[in-house]
Structure 1
Amino acid sequence: MTANDAISLTAPDGATATLSLHGGQVLSWKPAGGAEQLYLSPRSAFTPGKAIRGGVPVCFPQFAEGGPLPRHGFARTLPWELVQQEQGKDDALAVLRLRDSEATRAIWPHAFELELSVRVGGSSLDVELACENLGDVPLQFTAALHTYLRVGDLDAVSVEGLAGLRYHDSIKQAEALQRMDLLLTGENGVLDLDRVYYGVKERPLLVTEGRRQVVVRHQGFEDAVIWNPGPERCAKLADMPPEGWSEMLCVEAACVGRPVELPAGESWVGRQSLRLE
């Protein structure tokens, strides 16, 4: 990644975030007086057409392999443009934009505009994704903010707020019910996680590791994805170090179970807010 691709945000209180125009992606988040909260793989490929492994990739207009497009769509591999950057009284803001092109219309025949708004300040990071249908026919998409949270000891991590929700387990290709909080115990099969939890909506999720807690809130996104490749799958990922799985947990705001239906001329907005407690 070149210096021209990097956007640095610094709030008046010292909270920072770094964004990449490649993929329209948050790469780093440090709350005021705090340590790095996001995982970015040291083997990430910062090259045109390749996805960056870590931070907060934008999955659009397709999540995973749920359609004919490349995995997780094309937004995370295309160049975005910076349309606004400012420091306010309490925070700092950047707005990035991606519009349809000949390349996107060749595989997804829709006119659209995406805006990613990133606001950092205090102990919070807010990431908002907006999509406007610029065409004259309805469009449909699935999407996610594929947030890689950094962890120090995965065995000590739990995720509260999922109890009572149904989920799709992509590893077992089965539907199940989450009966209690999700505990990451380091057992084989528990760590190889790839789950879509349906109907999370605005219920807060609490990711706890020892005394550190990150509260994750969604607006506009119906679902949540919890993902960790585990040691075996991680070893097969060229852009992750073999031990990378033990340093991250993806907790993602997502619209997967029910695609977003967007009439011509209409807009959709989804937001993920992270707060370090």
Structure 2
Amino acid sequence: LFSEVRVEGLETLDYLDNLQNRERFTEQGDAITFESEVDKIYLSTPTKIAILDHERKRTFELRKDGLPDAVVWNPWDKKAKAMADFGDEEYKHMLCVEAACVEKPITLKPGEEWKGRQEISIVPSSYCSGQLDPRGQL
């Protein structure tokens, strides 16, 4: 269940809370856990973020490039029931953590190029943010 899932790599970062009109806050605590609806945009995030699922003994690593921000979202029970394409109980089995570029959107002129990349992989369960260096590198 969700009490067994946490996100590491976003500790102490500033975020915009979509549930509070994108008001800016600073994350508190060692890791992000889930006990209610979440819809946050973390700013200037590391290139690697870990999603740890202790119940299933697996860890997902999100690696990103060209996308400085990260969205963390779960609709929780009330919003899940209101979503036509989402099962009433599916919020218990999903978590959205995605690379983004929100605070400073990319604007291209004709002929300009921009590249962004997001890669998600399963890594050994022993992985933790303690293995990240200050720049977010393994």
Common fold, TM-score beyond 0.5? Answer: yes
Q: 1:275 aligns with which of 117, 121, 124?
A: 121
Q: Secondary structure at the match of 1:268?
A: coil
CA deviation map 1:44-90 (0-9, x unaligned): xxxxxxxxxxxxxxxxxxxxxxxxxxxxxxxxxxxxxxxxxxxxxxx
State TM-score, norm by structure 2: 0.82
Deviation >3 Å, runs of 4+: none
Q: Secondary structure at the match of 1:217?
A: strand
Q: 1:235 aligns with which of 78, 81, 85?
A: 81
State TM-score, norm by structure 1: 0.42
- Aligned ranges for residues 132-171 of structure 1 at < 5 Å? 153-171=1-19
Aligned residues: 119
Q: Which residue of 2 aligns with 1:183?
A: 33
Q: 1:196 aligns with which of 18, 25, 41?
A: 41
Structure 1 position 208 matched with structure 2 position 52: yes
Q: Secondary structure at the match of 1:233?
A: helix
- Aligned ranges for residues 1-277 of structure 1 at < 5 Å? 153-173=1-21, 174-180=23-29, 181-184=31-34, 186=35, 191-202=36-47, 204-210=48-54, 211-277=57-123
Q: 1:214 corresponds to which letter in structure 2?
A: F
Q: Offset at 1:172?
A: 2.0
What is the CA–CA distance in structure 2 between the aligned matches of 1:263 and 1:164, rounded to whole Å? 35
What is the CA–CA distance in structure 2 between the aligned matches of 1:267 and 1:207, rounded to whole Å? 31
Aligned-residue CA RMSD (Å): 1.1
Higher RCO structure (Cα 8 Å, ≥6 apart):
2
Unpaired runs of 5+ residues, structure 2, are: 124-138
Q: Secondary structure at the match of 2:91?
A: helix
Q: 2:122 corresponds to which letter in structure 1?
A: L
What is the CA–CA distance in structure 1 between the aligned matches of 2:45 and 2:110, rounded to whole Å? 27
Sequence identity percentage? 33
